[in-house]
Amino acid sequence: MSRGRVSPSPPPLIGLAHGSRDPRAAATIGEVLRAVEALRRGLIARPAFLDLSEPDLSTAVGMLRSECGVTEAVVLPLLFTEAFHATVDAPTAVAQAQLNSGVELRLGAILGMGEDVLEALEDSAARAHIGAHEAILLLAVGSSRDEANAAVHELAYRWSQRRLGPVWAGFATTGEPSASSVLARATATKHRIGVVPLFLAPGLLLDAMRREATAIDAEVAQPLGTALAELVVRRYDEAMAAAHA
């Protein structure tokens, strides 16, 4: 009787997030990657962080090599825009981790702001009971790169074309307009407004915006979290397909 061959384990997926001083952020990234593992049987998915949280990418890769004997892995930046973290920090971290560990690392695409992200935002707004006629502040972190902020404005425009109320992009750090000014405009024009964060995980920036929104009786939706697990799996498959093209 012949024995069936055992399929080799797929290269692990490392979700590379920005990192935060708020421990809830790292915990949520862990939840996203556990959801990824549940969607793709046999796939190991681990978190790593660019800053402020642990482990960093070199440490995460080293742990995978020592624990699982891996020789290759896919690194996916859990980021929405082609800002500095995606275009500079992530490739630099990948190059350094590969040099440190000897593990072959494939850098995949960012999450982006495609249809799947927009649908997740719509679901998030619905769960927060933000009405179809209400204005929405699409809250993003913001970037020093104008192109990255422009992509958030474009996403807000796309969303506004499929609902009754307006969608206005606003930024928590760098970028115009500021999220605070969008809330102020809504108050001045007597628009009822809700806040929907283009965030994967909770953190201090979102807490600050929640306090501002609560002061004007605005609903604030939850970060997208595990709603994007299927997208992460898709980005992994795309990276693997590109490697074997």
Looking at residue 245, its pLDDT comes to 78
pLDDT in tens, 65-92: 999 999 999 999 999 999 999 999 999 9
Task: Using pLDDT thresholds of 50, 70 and 90, give the confidence band for residue 4.
Answer: very low
Paired tokens of 147: 């192109």
Of 184, 218, 222, whose CA–CA distance to 201 is shortest?
A: 222
Distance (Å, whole) CA 40 – CA 48: 19
Would you identify the CATH topology of the domain 115-224?
Rossmann fold (3.40.50)
Q: Does 134 score more than 60 pLDDT?
A: yes
Percent share of the chain, pLDDT over 70 = 97
Distance (Å, whole) CA 36 – CA 230: 7
Q: Which parts of the chain fold into alpha helices (H)? A: 23-39, 57-68, 84, 90-101, 115-127, 146-160, 179-188, 204-215, 229-243
Task: Using pLDDT thresholds of 50, 70 and 90, give the confidence band for residue 6.
Answer: very low
Q: 107 near 57, Cβ under 8 Å?
A: no
Looking at residue 98, its pLDDT comes to 97
For the chain, domain boundaries: 13-111+226-243, 115-224
3-state class of 98 per DSSP?
helix
CATH architecture of 13-111+226-243: 3-Layer(aba) Sandwich (3.40)
3-state class of 129 per DSSP?
coil
Task: Using pLDDT thresholds of 50, 70 and 90, give the confidence band for residue 9.
Answer: confident
- What pTM, to 2 d.p., does this model score? 0.94
pLDDT in tens, 145-194: 999 999 999 999 999 999 999 999 999 999 999 999 999 999 998 889 99
72 DSSP β-pair partners: 104
Q: Do domains 13-111+226-243 and 115-224 have the same CATH topology?
A: yes
